Amino acid sequence: QVRLKESGGGLAQTGGSLRLSCVVSGRAASTYVMGWFRQAPGKERDTVASISWNGGRTYYSDSVKGRFTISRDNANNVMYLQMNSLKPEDTAVYYCAANEKTLARAPNAYDIWGQGTQVTVSS
């Protein structure tokens, strides 16, 4: 059974940086398209970024483009999200997710999810 585990969340100041990691276990990460999503209190889960099986293609939401970088290391079954120039509106629970079929943007295209990691950005 494949599992995803996020880490790296925490508290950062406006303008600061954090790096999230998502470790894949139970199956090779290269099997999956993967993505990062976030959900703030009282809001729907939104797409942050997604990355193709070999990392050759990426997608970013307009709200994070130029500030966040998604990457993956299939040899070590890990995906990353480097978050720079953080803003208070980036505060949310961040989830990693995976699917085998398509480099999709919408959260409902992903069927394997981690438990999430909290990111809080203070003003």
- Measured distance CA(85)–CA(15) in Å, rounded: 4
Q: What is the mean pLDDT of residues 93-116?
A: 95
**13-40 pLDDT, tens digit each:** 999 999 999 999 999 999 999 999 999 9
Whose CA is closest to 119, among 77, 53, 68?
A: 68
Site of tokens 């398209």: 33
**59-76 pLDDT, tens digit each:** 999 999 999 999 999 999
Please give the pLDDT value at position 48. Answer: 98
Are the C-beta atoms of 19 and 82 separated by less than 8 Å?
yes
